[in-house]
Amino acid sequence: MYRIFLSWRFLRQRRTNLIGVFGIFLAVGALILILSIMTGFLEETRKSARGSLSDIILGVTPYSRNGLPRDPAPILAEIRRDERVAGAAAHLAWMCLLTRDDEWSLGVLTDSQRSQYAGIKLTGIDVADERGAAEFIESLERVDKQGERVVDVKNPFAPPPEYDADIGRPRDRIIVGERVMRAHSLARGDRVTLMTAVPDPRSDTGWSARKREFVVAGTFRSGENEIDLQRVYVDRTQVARFLAGVNEDQALPKDAIEYSEVLVKLADYERDARAVVADLSLRLTQARLIDEYCSIVTWEEFRGPLLGAIENERVLMGIMLSLILVVAGFTIFAILSMMVTEKRRDIGILTALGATPRGVLALFLWIGFWDALIGALAGALVGTWLAIEIDPIEFWLSETFGIQIFNREVYIFDSIPSVVTPIAVALIVLGAFVCTLLFAALPAWRAANLDPVEALRNE
């Protein structure tokens, strides 16, 4: 009984113990606050890393098909047979240059300072398949003042009212990212030219140039800077015709490339992703719809290096911040060591009255336990509160002291992202307990092994 009673009494009566409690409080509170903000930052970064990627991306190499079907219909049908698949859409993507026939737009191509606007990823899509498979439709509805919405979201490639039908051969429509729109000073109904090169075995150089005019039907906004700056959408079959070098109304040649990737959306990504990737790999290979040059990956695997870096950062941050706990634990060690020296006589008295070395060990471990309990609980409460309320607190601090703590213009976030995960809070509290008890163990062991006679002589 005396272990708990005396440890609590020693803790209350000795003010130096409060330093240890405060140390743990500070460490736990700071850890929760910083890790919550870090987790918030990383989750936001992770979201932005995913962007408009679908759950599973099936990539093919368009110019080495080894006899595989060039038409995406069989592979889409096979993928959609899987009940776990919510939607699938074929894309035909190609890198192009985009320009208007004016000085400004050509300047974009030649000015190294603005070279980021020059390369464009032309993406051919089937509007009917996009809904449920990718975020294309949503991105059309998200247009803000920088862009111009398409006339009909359900039929986005319909000619815009500004389209002049009397300009000769009918041009196909293009939907551009809103940053592309702004970079080239475009408006709905304007004509833009896409230029690219495609492999061509009949050509002396092995490559043939392609150039075609399109009419701007409107803009989309994915919310990702890179995509809104570098992507344009055109109907997939028209992209195939463009790359094959045939006109908009001509039939596709047999060897035309019709798709380069298939995006697959799952009903439950977390549950099924890995299993569906494995199953699709097997089934599509057996059906001779893909070969060893094709890849089927989840979006996380697609962004593997970036996500790996984010995860590494989180782990490293956790390890570095855990050092705060070690410092707090060391404070406990120092205070308890001092206490054992101060309490030598009391240890002798307790032994004379019948306490065992094990009891004395437990007595000092209990002091460590109280330190951890009070410090960790208070730290967890305050740290969690700070993490939840960090935005108004930062605002208040900035207002009060006239300094900007979090510059919202530097980051893509409107507020300080903070995510408090109960499991992380529990682990930090547990870590504080383990750390404190480990650091308390050494002085407690020293107390338990004191010679009671020597301790009693300690006057």
Partner 1 sequence: MSSAAALVLSARGVVKTFVSGESKLEILHGVDLDLVAGERLALMGPSGAGKSTLLHVLGLLERPTAGSVTLEGTDAWSLGTEQRASLRNRHLGFVFQFYHLIAELDAVENVMLPAMIAQSRGEFASRKREHLAKARGLLEGFGLGARLKHRPTQLSGGERQRVALARALFLDPPILIADEPTGNLDRDTGEVVLELLFREQQRRQLSLLLVTHDERLAARCEHVLRMDAGRISNGRRDAR
Q: What is the H or E stretch that residue 422 is in?
A: helix 422-448
* Shorter beta-carbon distance to partner 1: residue 18 or 297: 18
Angle between helix 73-80 and helix 269-286 axes, rounded to 10 deg: 130
Phi, psi of 428 (to 5 degrees): -65, -45
List, in sequence order, every residue forming a beta bridge with 198; answer none if it has no partner. Answer: 208
Residue 383: strand, helix, or coil: helix
Residue 197: strand, helix, or coil: strand
Q: Tell me which amino acid residue 272 is.
A: D
Q: Are 373 and 22 in contact (CB under 8 A)?
A: no
* Shorter beta-carbon distance to partner 1: residue 51 or 357: 357
Residue 357 CB, nearest approach to partner 1 (Å): 6
Residue 371 CB, nearest approach to partner 1 (Å): 16
Q: Nearest Cα to 200, choosing from 132, 139, 257?
A: 257
Residue 439 CB, nearest approach to partner 1 (Å): 23
Residue 379 CB, nearest approach to partner 1 (Å): 26
Residues 176 and 229: their CA atoms lie apart, in Å, by 9
Stretch that binds partner 1, among 140-148, 170-178, 262-270, 340-348 (CB under 8 A): 340-348
Residue 337 CB, nearest approach to partner 1 (Å): 19
Residues 209 and 198: their CA atoms lie apart, in Å, by 6
Give the x/- contact pattern for partner 1 in 392-431, rule: CB under 8 A.
----------------------------------------
Residues 277 and 362: their CA atoms lie apart, in Å, by 54
Residue 346 CB, nearest approach to partner 1 (Å): 6
Q: Tokens 């150089």 map to which residue? A: 205
| 18 touches partner 1 by CB under 8 A | no
Stretch that binds partner 1, among 3-11, 147-155, 160-168, 328-336 (CB under 8 A): 3-11
Interaction with partner 1 in 439-458: which residues (CB under 8 A)? 451-453, 456
Residue 354 CB, nearest approach to partner 1 (Å): 2
Stretch that binds partner 1, among 109-117, 142-150, 347-355, 416-424 (CB under 8 A): 347-355
Contact residue for partner 1 among 306, 349, 378, 427 (CB under 8 A): 349
Residue 5 CB, nearest approach to partner 1 (Å): 6
Residue 1 CB, nearest approach to partner 1 (Å): 4
| 15 touches partner 1 by CB under 8 A | no
Q: Are 326 and 435 in contact (CB under 8 A)?
A: yes
Contact residue for partner 1 among 346, 418, 432, 447 (CB under 8 A): 346
Residues 124 and 72: their CA atoms lie apart, in Å, by 12
| 13 touches partner 1 by CB under 8 A | yes
Q: Are 253 and 246 in contact (CB under 8 A)?
A: yes
Residue 34: strand, helix, or coil: helix
| 345 touches partner 1 by CB under 8 A | yes
Residues 40 and 46: their CA atoms lie apart, in Å, by 10
Residues 211 and 227: their CA atoms lie apart, in Å, by 22
Q: Are 55 and 269 in contact (CB under 8 A)?
A: yes
Contact residue for partner 1 among 350, 380, 390, 420 (CB under 8 A): 350
Stretch that binds partner 1, among 2-10, 20-28, 210-218, 272-280 (CB under 8 A): 2-10
DSSP single-letter state for residue 191: E
Interaction with partner 1 in 351-390: which residues (CB under 8 A)? 351-359
Note the residues at the interface with partner 1 (CB under 8 A).
1-2, 4-6, 9-10, 12-14, 345-346, 348-359, 451-453, 456, 459
